[in-house]
Each structure stands twice: as C-alpha cells, then as structure tokens.
C-alpha cells in the first residue's frame, strides 16, 4: 500500500513535470515583449479571395523577407532606424523590446519635456515585405507601407501585435489588426534570461544603441538617392519659415493657402479647426514604388506613377488641437501653417542574397511628416498674410492644376459662392475622396521639397524641371482618423464686410488645386471583388477666389 502511494506520487510529479515542460516549450516559441508582426497572405482565385499563408510559409519554394524602419525621434541624427531586416520566421517578424526601447523612450522623454502627455502620441515605421520565388528570386508579393505605434505602450512586460493581410499584386497592406497585451511573468523571466538574439536580430549595418548583428541570408538593401528635409531648404526659402525646437530645425508647413485674386471682389474667409473633433488627428505618409523612377527623371522623362496613402500615420494621436482662420479682402492672400518636420526621400530598393549580391527591385518614394511641434495639447502654428509662401505655391503648380469647384447640394452647386454662402471642408473633402480613403487636408510636402529638386537629384536644367514637377505632385494628408469625422472648418464669402475697405457684395468663383497624380485605394479585403479605385487629391489645400 505504501509502495503504491509512492508510485502514485512519482507519477503525479512526473505528470506535473511533463505539463510544466510543455508549457515552457510553448512559452519558448511565444514571442516576448516588444513588437510582433504576423503576416497573412491572400490571392484572388476564381473571383474569390483565398488565404494561401500555409503554402507561402510552409513550402520551401518561397522565401519571405522583411525590413522595418522606425521614424527616429528629434534627438537622433538619423531620419529612420532599422529595427529588422531579413527572413521572417514562420511568417512572423519579432522586434524584441530591447531593440525598440531606446527609440520609444526618447519619444516619451521628448514629449514630456514639451509639456505634452506622451500617452497621446503615435509615431510610425515603414515596413517592406517581399515573398520571393526561390527558383527565380523574383518577388511574388512586394509591399511597402506604414504602421504606427504608441511609444508609451512600449514596455518591458508588453507585447504589441499586428496582424497584416497581404494580397498578391497589391503594393500596400490590405488590412491591419492591432492589439496590445501583457507578457506572462514566466515568459518575461525566460526572455530576460536569454540573449535577445532571435529572428529579430537580422540587422544589416550598425544602428545607434544596437549591437551589430550577423548579415542574414536574405535581406533588403536601400540606397538613398535624394532626401529633402528642412535642413536642405534654408537657402531656398525665407528665414522666417524656420525655427529650432528640440535641437532640430522645423519649418512652416502649409495646411491651407488662399488667394482672393480680383480687385472687384468680396471678403472671403478660410478656417481650419481640429479642436472640436473627438477622433485621433493623423498625418499619413504618401508612398510609391516603380521601376526606374530616378533614371527617367535624369533622362528628362516625367515618371507617371500612382502613389497611395500609407495604411497608418507617421505622426498623430488623440488630444491635440489647432485652430486658425483667414479673412481676405480683395487682392489679398494668406496661409495657415503648422511647425513640422517634413521628409521627402527617394531610394533604390534591392533584394540581396548573402554571397550572391543584390537584385534591383524598384525606386521607392516616401513623403511624410516625422514630427510636429506641440506645446501642451496645442499644435504650434499660425496664420499669416505677410509672408505668403510664393515660392511653395509656384512650385506646387508645377505638379498641380486648378479646378473650379462645383459641388451638388451646396453653395457651390452653381460654381460660385454668393455673399454669405459657405461650404464646409467635410463636403469639399468628400467631393474629392471618391474612394473613401479618408484623404482630407492635402499637405504639399512635395512642393516644399521641390525647392531643392535640382540639388538633391544633381541633374542639369532640362531634367531639373522634370524633377521639380515630379516632386511637387506629392501631397500627404492631415486627417481626423475616421471616415465619419472630418476636420472642421470651411470657406465663406462674406461679401461687403463693414470692417474691410473696398470690398463688394459679389459672387465668387472658387478654384482648388489638385495633384497631377491620381492616387489609388485598393478595396478592403472583404470586398475582394472590387477593382482598385483611383481618386484626385487636393493640393495645398490651395483655394483661389475670382
């Protein structure tokens, strides 16, 4: 009887040990704290969307590689920092906490120093994904897009997970699901007892605060061809356009530009208000990739491409506010601007095999805002009639054209605004946004960058004009992050305003600038039967009243 009890105890302990071992093995495969990006692959078959993730991930005939570049905080000399570059493991990208920690902590420190709650801040990173056919080494899937995260949520006990849906022949992410969760204590102890060398260790080159890692068997390589930031523009634009903040040079970045052209005219008003929206305020990047963009520009051939709005913001968050307005009498002009750090970059993208060299994939273009100056909850900026951005407007019209606004069921249904008539930005944005892409205020990053086009592309005068036109056509969007909530404000014809001399009660034709490039919006994954939608985007946003 005693022996039977001992055997029972041993068996019970053995069973507990097996369960514990199984749990530890499970935990060893589960990612630790940091960022996890799971990839799901789909393709269209016979008019239906079929998931092919198992075929892509399990088969030896495909290789999936990825690169992740985080937007660097203001104190960092780099514009972006590589967090991951190499093959994915079972369709997963894992960026350990220790790798993202210094970037996130610096963002949090910076915003606390400004008196701004860092919990509201969201910044972004760019993700490059390719699935290669192992026989040909040609991409079957090729995606360049943006994702965002909250630096305040990057903690030693937290895992941020993204589930991405990628569709064959679509250059952007079809769907993103994000969730944040606590990591179990046992997993945390296991993670901290191990070195951080995991699938996330594939980093080509050396980054500040990170140890150099071995070169992976397959990886992305990017070669910077041209980059424009405020530092490039100090000799091209007036000194009043620039300010030093947080040890970095920021610049006035237009979000509304207006000209009341005629002498015989009424007084017109333009207003922007993001104070009254409950949605997150988001500034999205614009991205494009195509073959031989750079060589076409240098050969004085204008590349005709189709950009897209990034899936997630490069900067934004909840709780920020900005409000300003302009009243313009006859022959007066003005603009509304924010202090921001715009970036426009062109790079050659290669896919490399260790020991066998690199193959050219295409030229990518990214236009984005890396940071905005804030003070408390306020976005710093203003409105002015004195230093009208003539240089930026002239460049903008290299890559944009005027269109008269006629919007049904509004004051502009007949093509003009009568005295005391107004139209909201919501209706104007919806008029352009035929694809429900939530593209709102078109910020003319390309027009700003085009001031340095000839210098950064290093091209002679004929090709210089081509480079200027190409760059100036790129707009990014400042949006309220919801298709049902938009930036508040609008335009109004005040007619004869008693406080403004020499104005008249006169109907005003209203024109708006739009980019020469049409943007694309791929259908959501659940509407796979729809074709890609193309739409025009407002530039500036530039209004002209005549």
Evaluate whether 478 touches 441 at the Cβ level (below 8 Å): yes
pLDDT at 196 over 50: no
Contacts for 454 with CB less than 8 Å, ≥ 6 apart: 461, 464, 467, 468
pLDDT at 532 over 90: no
d(Cα 173, Cα 129) in Å, to the nearest integer? 10
d(Cα 389, Cα 398) in Å, to the nearest integer? 15
d(Cα 484, Cα 480) in Å, to the nearest integer? 9
pLDDT, position 201 = 43
pLDDT at 29 over 80: no
In the chain, what percentage of residues exceed pLDDT 90? 32
SS3 231: helix
DSSP secondary structure code for residue 247 in this structure: T
Evaluate whether 223 touches 350 at the Cβ level (below 8 Å): yes
pLDDT, position 193 = 47
pLDDT, position 205 = 36
At 9, is the pLDDT very low, low, confident or very high (cuts 50, 70, 90)? low
Return the higher-pLDDT residue of 112 and 204: 112
Contacts for 496 with CB less than 8 Å, ≥ 6 apart: 266, 267, 419, 503, 504, 505
Angle between helix axes 2-29 and 185-193 (nearest 10 degrees) is 70
Least confident among 4-18, 354-368, 458-472: 4-18
pLDDT, position 190 = 54
At 5, is the pLDDT very low, low, confident or very high (cuts 50, 70, 90)? low
Return the higher-pLDDT residue of 57 and 316: 316
Q: What is the mean pLDDT of residues 244-263?
A: 90
At 83, is the pLDDT very low, low, confident or very high (cuts 50, 70, 90)? very high
At 210, is the pLDDT very low, low, confident or very high (cuts 50, 70, 90)? very low
At 197, is the pLDDT very low, low, confident or very high (cuts 50, 70, 90)? very low
pLDDT, position 207 = 40
pLDDT tens digits, 502-526: 888 999 988 888 888 777 777 665 5
Evaluate whether 53 touches 106 at the Cβ level (below 8 Å): no
pLDDT at 241 over 80: yes
d(Cα 526, Cα 523) in Å, to the nearest integer? 8
pLDDT at 202 over 50: no
The reply to whether omega before 541 is within 30° of 0 (cis) is yes
Evaluate whether 62 touches 133 at the Cβ level (below 8 Å): yes
Half-sphere exposure of 433 (CA within 13 A, CB side): 19
Return the higher-pLDDT residue of 489 and 313: 313
Question: Average model confidence (pLDDT) for the chain?
Answer: 82
pLDDT tens digits, 377-407: 889 999 988 778 888 888 887 888 888 888 8
Q: What is the mean pLDDT of residues 405-416?
A: 87
Closest CA to 278 of 488, 114, 491: 488
Return the higher-pLDDT residue of 430 and 8: 430
SS3 448: helix
pLDDT at 229 over 90: yes
pLDDT at 282 over 60: yes
CA distances 48 to 39, 167, 525, Å, are: 20, 12, 11
Evaluate whether 122 touches 148 at the Cβ level (below 8 Å): yes
């Amino acid at each position: 009887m005693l022996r039977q009890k001992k055997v029972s105890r041993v068996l019970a302990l053995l069973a507990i040990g097996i369960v514990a071992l199984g749990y530890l093995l499970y935990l060893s495969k589960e990612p630790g704290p940091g960022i996890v990006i799971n990839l799901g692959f789909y393709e269209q078959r016979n008019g239906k969307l079929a998931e092919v993730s198992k075929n892509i991930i399990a088969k030896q005939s495909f290789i999936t590689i990825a690169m992740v570049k985080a937007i660097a905080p203001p104190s960092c000399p780099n514009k972006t920092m590589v967090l991951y570059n190499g093959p994915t493991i079972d369709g997963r990208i894992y960026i350990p906490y220790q790798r993202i920690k210094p970037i996130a902590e610096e963002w949090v420190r910076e915003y606390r120093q400004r008196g701004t709650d860092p919990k509201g801040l969201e910044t972004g990173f760019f993700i490059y994904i390719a699935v290669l056919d192992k026989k040909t080494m040609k991409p079957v899937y090729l995606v360049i897009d943006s994702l965002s995260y909250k630096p305040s949520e990057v903690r030693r006990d937290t895992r941020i997970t993204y589930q991405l849906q990628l569709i064959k022949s679509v250059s952007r992410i079809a769907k993103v699901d994000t969730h944040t969760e606590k990591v179990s204590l046992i997993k945390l102890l296991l993670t901290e007892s191990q070195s951080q060398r995991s699938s996330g260790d594939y980093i080509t080159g050396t980054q500040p605060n990170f140890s150099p890692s071995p070169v992976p068997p397959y990886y992305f390589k990017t070669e910077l061809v041209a980059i424009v930031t405020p530092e490039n523009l100090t000799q091209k634009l007036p000194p009043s356009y620039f300010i030093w903040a947080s040890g970095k040079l920021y610049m006035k970045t237009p979000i509304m530009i207006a000209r009341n052209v005629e002498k015989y005219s009424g007084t017109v008003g333009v207003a922007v208000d993001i104070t009254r929206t409950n949605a997150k305020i988001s500034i999205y990047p614009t991205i494009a990739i195509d073959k031989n963009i750079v060589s076409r520009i240098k050969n004085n051939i204008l590349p005709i491409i189709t950009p897209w709005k990034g899936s997630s913001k490069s900067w934004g968050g909840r709780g920020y506010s900005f409000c300003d307005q302009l009243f313009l009498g006859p022959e007066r002009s003005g603009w509304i601007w924010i202090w921001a750090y715009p970036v426009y970059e062109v790079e050659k993208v290669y896919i490399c095999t260790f020991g066998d060299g690199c193959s050219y994939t295409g030229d990518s273009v990214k236009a984005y805002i890396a940071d905005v100056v804030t003070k408390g909850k306020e976005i710093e900026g203003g409105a002015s009639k004195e230093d009208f951005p003539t240089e930026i407007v002239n460049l903008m019209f290299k890559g944009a054209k005027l269109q008269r606004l006629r919007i049904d069921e509004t004051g502009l249904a007949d093509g003009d605004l009568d005295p005391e008539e107004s139209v909201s930005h919501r209706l104007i944005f919806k008029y352009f946004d035929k694809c429900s892409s939530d593209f709102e205020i078109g910020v003319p990053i390309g027009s700003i960058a085009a001031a340095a086009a000839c210098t950064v592309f290093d091209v002679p005068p004929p090709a210089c004009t081509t480079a200027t036109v190409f760059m100036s056509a790129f707009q990014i969007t400042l949006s309220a992050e919801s298709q049902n909530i938009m930036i508040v404000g609008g335009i109004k014809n005040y007619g004869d305003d008693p406080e403004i001399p020499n104005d008249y009660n006169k109907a005003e034709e209203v024109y708006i600038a739009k980019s020469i490039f049409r943007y694309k919006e791929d259908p959501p994954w659940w509407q796979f039967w729809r074709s890609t939608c193309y739409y025009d985007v407002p530039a500036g946003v530039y209004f002209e009243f005549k």
